[in-house]
Structure 1
Amino acid sequence: MQKVVVRDTQMSLPTMAKLFGALGLAATGFITAELICGKLPPGTAVQGLALVAASFGLLLGWRVIGRNPGRGRVKVIERGVHAAIYLLVWTMVFLGALQMMREMSRGRYDGPSEALIDVLAQGMRLGSEALKLEVLGTLFCGAVLSAMLAEWAWKRWR
């Protein structure tokens, strides 16, 4: 016999915590992407990376940071670190996909599976070059600060 799972059909309302978390992490993503662009080797396709990272930050700030406010300081830091890790992973996957598209237009791949596998390799290669101390410090400090701002907004406009 199969088990039926019913989801809650009511959407949770937007809150100030979600808004502050989203805007804070979007700003963090934009600033971090600008730092990453300066660290990448010349000729790397990074057009629009800052806006894409800000978009990822907006989404992740809303879904990760602003989801459960009011749980204490340790959870605030934990949510900020989780959001920073998610933002970093999504940005590296995006960079890998950009580079894969660039290589695909040159006819480098024999098939689609080879191109998809190369997304991870390109992302890891660019990520290892882009991950410097000031980039990581900006990313994690900005994400934790965004989580703290979301917590403050939740307490202020509860």
Structure 2
Amino acid sequence: MPTSSRLVAGICLALLAFVLSRQIMPLMPEGMNFGYFIHVNMVIGFLVGWSIMGSRAGRGITAAINNGLTGAVVLIFWGLFVQSCYGMVDQAMNDRFDGPLEALLAIFDIAAGYLTVILVPIVIATTLVGGALSGLASELAWRRWR
């Protein structure tokens, strides 16, 4: 059911995904084709905010901050998973795998590689602060427009 807290949480996490994507792009190897990287991450952010954060609004300030941090971590998880799947498909089209099991296992290798690249202090700080602010904004929207 659409509520104001779901909408605000979705928009906030989409904005957080945009900021994080812009911070991550210079960290990746030079010459990497990003394509719809930012757009896909923003859609993931909106969906995570709508489904996870928006439904948990209205439980208080501490719960709102925890809710925002949970939403930000889930955003990172799904972003890594989706981008790793895309990387696996890209490598599979270049015949880099001998079979489907090797291709599925490569998703985890690619995700681990991406995770080591994005674990820098600025990305971690942005994730934590942006997640907490997103949770507070969702809580404020729930209180204002019940």
TM class, shorter-length: over 0.9
> Equivalences for 1:66-105 in 2 at 5 Å?
66-105=54-93
Q: Which structure is larger by alpha-carbon Rg, 1 or 2?
A: 1
The letter for the 2-side match of 1:130 is I
Contact 1:44/1:99, CA 8 A, preserved across alignment: no
Conserved 8 A contact 2:6-2:51: yes
Match of 1:26 in 2: 14
Q: After TM superposition, list the pairs within 5 Å mapping 1:126-141 onto structure 2.
A: 126-141=114-129
CA distance, structure 1, for counterparts of residue 144 and residue 78 of structure 2:
31
- Provide the TM-score with structure 2 as the length reference: 0.94
Counterpart of 2:126, as a letter, is T
How many aligned positions are there?
Answer: 146
Percentage of matched positions with identical amino acids:
29
Distance 1:115 1:45, change over 3 A: farther
Q: Which segments of 5 or more consecutive residues in structure 1 lack a partner in the other structure?
A: 1-12
TM-score by length of 1: 0.87
Structure with greater helix share of residues: 2
Q: Distance in 1 between matches of 2:29 and 2:119?
A: 13
Does the aligned pair in 1 maintain the 2:56–2:67 contact within 8 Å? no
Which ranges in structure 2 are unaligned for 5 or more consecutive residues?
none
Shift of 1:30: 1.2
What is the distance in 1 between the residues matched to 2:125 and 2:55? Answer: 24
Structure-1 separation of matches of 2:104 and 2:22: 26
Deviation at 1:45, TM superposition (A): 4.2
